[in-house]
Structure 1
Amino acid sequence: MSTGTPADGVRLRVVSYNVHGQRDDAAALAAVVRTAEPDVVIVQEGARRFRWRQRNAALAASFGLVVAAGGLPSLGNVLLTSLRVRVLDTRCRRFPLTPGRHLRGAAFADCLVGGARFTLAGSHLSTDPAERPAQARALRQDLAGAAWPVIAGADVNEGPDGPAWATLAEGLTDTAVAMDRADRLTYSCADPRRRIDALFVDPRIAVLDYDVVDTPQTRRASDHFPILVDLRLPVTD
């Protein structure tokens, strides 16, 4: 990690990761994130039921981070930060429920790091293609209303050719495309065929590097590969 300077903006390392409900190799999962040394981790499929606060705190501690927002109120979306990042405000939302379907939601945190303010967001859209577009529109409206440049990680559950993905990407930078690495597949670890996980950022944020981390450890840690992105944020203070 590099803190950057006011002259060139503030650098931030971000991981967006569907952790599969921590049902796989917990030691490998912790090692993957610790090796990446992120400033923030956007988690999908974190704890959302029994003892969810303690379980998410334990996950964060295993990464060397703390919980900023999420859990049950955002239906398993969790935002984790290093102590370098100051969390100013948090909020969660739940998408309208379609009877008989899984609840979905999103978590948000307004943050400050080295003179740069930003809004961090994480979400996990439905596996049902009939539900995803409305969820994407609701999330995009939330992102459009953010006061600071947005960093949004999501398991979209569809590829870049889908309508929900297009809605989320509107007006934002797809970090994989920015680095000409849209061919890096994120799902599944057992048989990689699709890019369904994304990190979108405000155009004012520079994308310095992008990777989908495919190692023996990541293949044991979850059914999704983590996205690792280095950013440069504009100074806002």
Structure 2
Amino acid sequence: MTARVRVVSYNIHSSKDDLRALAAVVADLAPDVLIVQEGARRFRWRQKNATLADRLRMVVGGGGLWSLGNLVLTTLRVRVLETRDVRYPLVPGHHMRGAVFATCAVPGARFVVTGSHLSTDPAVRPVQAAAWRAEMRGSDLPVVAAGDLNAEPGDPTWAAVADGLHIAGTAPTHPSSGPRRAIDGVFVDKRIEVASFRVVDSEQARRASDHLPIAVDLVLPD
């Protein structure tokens, strides 16, 4: 028995843009799991993330303040069994960064999803990427990792995250107004089949955020 899930990775630009367009984009994609970068992480962050989830007709699975704005939202088809947050070592003069992990179950399969938003500094990014990948290795379940890497394929950051994983695909995601840079990525366990990969570029998506979303359809092992 196998299970299919749709996972979407989306940097939502701290909800600064057209929220109606954001909701429409997510509704059209109909993800089982939405991995968000730049969710609320400061004052009243729980309420803000709950409001976002309600707007998107999803529920909060994990993340927020303690994962530094990384967030997992799910539909009711997905049961979140466990969550944890990771913080990378603080580099003076830089923003604190981290990751969210959620152990999920759908009929026929269990898996782990994780999301992160890495540094803009090329000296710091690969170190954070390696720390993120090391945290993934603690799970025996198939892992799906997604995030804003702030680097393009070929940068050491991608190699650090992809070590032992498959890159689901690459395409420009930023800036949404005229995408030129493939700085967002999805990485999957080798036991997972990538049935489809696409970056959604539409009029609504260009209004919703400064990043375009990535959607992947996955076939999970039992």
Which residue type is aligned with residue 202 of structure 2? Answer: T
Report what 1:110 is aligned to: 103
Q: Give the structure 2 partner of residue 162 of structure 1.
A: 155
**Alignment-derived partner of residue 122 in structure 2:** 129
Residue 147 (structure 1) shift: 2.2
Aligned residue among 54, 63, 66 for 1:61: 54
Kindly provide the amino acid, as one letter, of the partner of residue 182 in structure 2.
Answer: R
Task: Give the equivalent residue in structure 2 for 1:3.
Answer: none
TM-superposition CA deviations, 1:160-209 (whole Å, max 9, x none): 11111111011111111xxxxx3x21111123111000010001000001
Look up the match of 1:179.
Answer: none
Confirm or deny that 1:218 pairs with 2:205. yes
Name the aligned partner's letter for residue 219 of structure 2.
Answer: R
What is the 5 A alignment of 1:1-237? Answer: 6=1, 9-176=2-169, 182=170, 184-235=171-222
CA contact 1:187–1:193 (8 Å) conserved in 2: yes
Q: Partner letter of residue 107 of structure 1?
A: V
Work out the CA distance in 1 between the residues paired with 2:39 and 2:31. Answer: 17
- For 2:163 and 2:93, the matched residues in 1 are separated by 30
Of stretches 143-152 and 42-51 in structure 1, the one that deviates more from structure 2 is 143-152
TM-score by length of 2: 0.98
**Deviation digits for residues 109-140 of structure 1, max 9, x if unmatched?**
01111120101100000001111111011000
| Distance (whole Å) between structure 2 residues aligned to residue 132 and residue 160 of structure 1 | 13
Aligned residues: 222
What TM-score, normalized to structure 1?
0.92
List gaps (5 residues or longer) in structure 2.
Answer: none
**Consecutive unaligned residues in structure 1, runs of 5 or more:** 1-5, 177-181
Distance in 1 between the 2:162 and 2:130 partners? Answer: 11
Q: Which amino acid aligns with 1:121?
A: T
Residue 131 of structure 1 aligns to which amino acid in structure 2?
V
SS at match of 2:135: helix
In 2: Cα distance, 1:169 partner to 1:220 partner: 30
**2:28 & 2:51 partners in 1: Cα distance?**
18
Partner amino acid for 1:198? G
Shift of 1:88: 0.8
RMSD of aligned alpha carbons = 0.7
CA distance in 2, matches of 1:63, 1:34: 7
Q: Check whether the contact 1:119–1:147 (CA below 8 A) recurs between aligned residues.
A: no
Deviation at 1:144, TM superposition (A): 1.3
